[in-house]
Amino acid sequence: MKAIRIVRPKEPLEIQELETPKPQGSQVLVKVQSSGVCHSDIQLWDGGYRGPGGQFLKVTDRGIKYPLTPGHEVAGTIDSLGEDAKRFFIKNEKVVIYPWIGEGLCPACRGGEDNLCDKPRSLGVYRDGGYAEYVLVPNYRYIVKLDEDMDIDASATLSCSGLTAYRAIKNANLKPDDNVVIVGGTGGLGLMAIQLAKALTGAKVIAIGLHNNKLQAARKCGADAVVNSNKEDPTKAIMELTDKMGADAVIDFVNDSKTVEADMQFLRRRARLVLVGLFGGEVNLNLINIPARAYKLIGIDNGSIIDFIELISLASRRIVKPVVSNQFKLDQATEALTLLREGKIIGRSVINP
Ligand SMILES: [Zn+2]
Ligand SMILES: [Zn+2]
């Protein structure tokens, strides 16, 4: 089978011919139809993250090994099944994969939250993922059936951008008379979070982004108001839009020094600040404000398999519709990642092997 892989950080990805895996036991081989291109794939490609004090945090220090086939948002069809998986699926069934696989025995895994495992084994991160013609899934329980009429590209993006946005909205604990500010509201996660907030909470949704054409997409997804932080001061704009009270919750899909510093300026008392993005860096915190204003700081790292099943149910009933804007072939993966890095993708792009 063909796979496009990161062989060395920062170098163009390489097409490689690999042996097609044969599933055994509980394993399942999925023929990849669509694999989403995620911001965290860029960090794998760069070889690390921006840490505090200008440090570079290498992914190899977290146990990631190259060469690696990235791709954790994967949908496709069942190709073949190990003996123990045969009673659950049949060949050619349309499925999506839950990629946040754990080692199985830590407290998080035992509680159904593989995504928070002490020793993660995630697909496309710690093991080969979906930038390939086939992907081997270690256990049938990470595979979820899709309805025949569900769009395969949109379904693929549920596994990370959809799931993370869903978990973030759940943790923001929004009430119908709350307002929520979505920072980075024009990327794949932001647009999904806007739809979920509208569909599930009744809260007023304000999206902050950098480009008018992308903020237009946020409006289409249901944002009640949009703020272009290139053109206006976000703090001033949010205070005006919230009758000078500030935001009940902020979900930051960028999460760098600049955005979080700004977020802290427009939190209402009791606000939840939900940090999701992986841009990284550091901030100075006014510590007295945390207890005195009763803020909650919450970090989100994907969602559980239960969250995933709930989200697929919402998507199957068209309550949320992931925005997929670009499709690439396997050998265009480097181009897909480059366009994402340059901020040229609205919503999500996918690779169709
Ligand atoms: Zn675990
Ligand atoms: Zn992702």
Ligand in closest contact with the CA of 41: 2
Express each pLDDT in 147-170 by its tens digit: 999 999 999 999 999 999 999 999
Q: How far is the CA of 2 from the centre of ligand 2 (A)?
A: 22
Counting ligands in written order, the one closest to the CA of 106 is 1
The answer to whether 15 touches 53, Cβ cutoff 8 Å, is no
pLDDT of residue 186: 82
Ligand approaching nearest to the C-alpha of 105: 1
Q: C-alpha angle with apex 189: 225 to 202, nearest 5 degrees?
A: 45
Quote the ligand 2 centre to 73 CA distance (angstroms).
Answer: 7
What number of residues does the chain have? 353
- Mean pLDDT within 167-187: 95
pLDDT of residue 4: 98
Alpha carbon of 105 to ligand 1 centroid (Å): 5
Q: Please state the domain extents for the chain.
A: 2-160+303-351, 162-299
User: pLDDT-derived band of residue 284, with 50, 70 and 90 as boundaries?
Assistant: very high
Q: Name the CATH code of domain 162-299 (choices 3.40.50.720, 1.10.3720.10, 3.10.20.600, 3.20.190.10).
A: 3.40.50.720
Ligand number nearest to the C-alpha of 114: 1
pTM of the predicted structure, to 2 decimals: 0.94
pLDDT of 347 above 80 = no
Section 342-346 average pLDDT: 84
What does the pLDDT average to over 77-89? 97
Domain 2-160+303-351: which topology? Quinone Oxidoreductase; Chain A, domain 1 (3.90.180)
Residue listed under structure tokens 């709930």 = 310
In the predicted structure, residue 214 carries a pLDDT above the cut 90: no
In DSSP notation, 234-288 reads: HHHHHHHHTTTS-EEEEEESS-BHHHHHHHHHSEEEEEEEEE----B------TT
Proximal ligand: closest to the CA of 119:
1
- Output the pLDDT for position 187: 83
- Which tokens in the block code for residue 152? 């395969």
Question: Residue 116: is its pLDDT beyond 80?
Answer: yes
Distance in Å, CA 42 to ligand 2 centroid: 10
Share of the chain above pLDDT 90, in %: 91
Instruction: Identify which ligand lies nearest to the alpha carbon of 112.
Output: 1
Residues 260-269: contacts with CB under 8 Å, at least 24 apart: 262/183, 262/229, 262/234, 262/235, 263/181, 263/183, 264/289, 265/235, 266/181, 266/234, 266/235, 266/238, 266/239, 266/242, 267/293, 267/295, 268/242, 269/293, 269/294
> Taking a C-beta distance cutoff of 8 angstroms, is the pair 27, 86 a contact?
no
What mean pLDDT do residues 162-189 have? 94
Report CA(112)–ligand 1 centroid distance (Å).
9
Residue 278 has pLDDT above 90, yes or no: no
Q: How far apart are CA 172 and CA 264, in angstroms?
A: 15
Two tokens at 2? Answer: 């063909």
pLDDT at 54 over 90: no
The band of 344, judged by pLDDT with boundaries at 50, 70 and 90, is confident
